[in-house]
Amino acid sequence: MKFTLRPATQSDQNNIRKLIRLVKINPTGLDWCRFVVAVTPTGELIGCGQVKTHGDGSRELASIAVMPEYRNEGIASTLIDHLVNIHPKPLFLTCRSSLETFYQQFQFKTLLESEMPPYFRRMSRLGNIFLKLSRSKDKLLVMQLKYD
């Protein structure tokens, strides 16, 4: 599968939102200006990701999503590599515990609650309450990619 990465444009906004809803990840903070998108040679948006900055100054790798029919073709990995390489460290992310191994290959390490910046400490607590209520076997992890 051939695809290219490019900065998102305003015309990508609706497709980014649709993809995020389709894959059922956090739909908050979707500002197209921060996104990089993966597109087919015909221009179809098949993946996306962003880095967003929170009020406490922490930066989050977020909204990594790939259309289901294009998974396992290296699109998410390419998006992550690109975003990690163009943004200053440290970078944080939140994910379900079932994705821990996937993000470890990019050198992200799982944090203890005491190691988390304030924003992520709050999100971890809230996310784990939500997962417990939904009877999920997953936990919400906060992971960090440290300085180069």
Shared-domain flag, residues 99 and 81: no
Same domain, 77 and 125: no
* Rounded CA separation 48/36 (Å): 6
Q: Residue 70: CA atoms inside 13 Å, Cβ hemisphere, count?
A: 21
Domain count, the chain: 2
User: What pLDDT is stored for residue 131 in this prediction?
Assistant: 73
Secondary structure (3-state) at 57: coil
Do 115 and 78 reside in the same domain of the chain?
no
- Per-residue pLDDT band for 4 (boundaries 50, 70, 90) equals very high
Residues 100 and 135 in one domain: yes
Q: Are residues 80 and 102 in the same domain?
A: no
Contacts of 112 (CB under 8 A, 6+ apart): none
137 with 94, same domain?
A: yes
Does one domain contain both 98 and 81?
A: no
Q: Tell me which of 40, 60, 88 is where a domain ends.
A: 88
Residue 45: pLDDT over 80: yes
Reduce the secondary structure of 4-44 to three states and give it as a string.
EEEECCHHHHHHHHHHHHHCCCCCCCCCHHHEEEEECCCCC
pTM: 0.90
Residues 43 and 58 in one domain: yes
∠ at Cα 146 (101, 81), nearest 5°?
A: 60
In this structure, the answer to whether residues 101 and 70 fall within a common structural domain is no
Regarding whether 72 and 14 lie in a shared domain, the answer is yes
CA distance linking residue 64 with residue 79, whole number of Å = 8
Find the domain containing 29 and state its range.
1-88
Confidence of residue 137 (pLDDT cuts 50, 70, 90): confident
Q: Could you tell me if 94 and 139 lie in one domain?
A: yes
- Asked whether residue 99 falls in the same domain as residue 112, the answer is yes
61 contacts 84 by C-beta, under 8 angstroms: yes
Confidence of residue 148 (pLDDT cuts 50, 70, 90): low
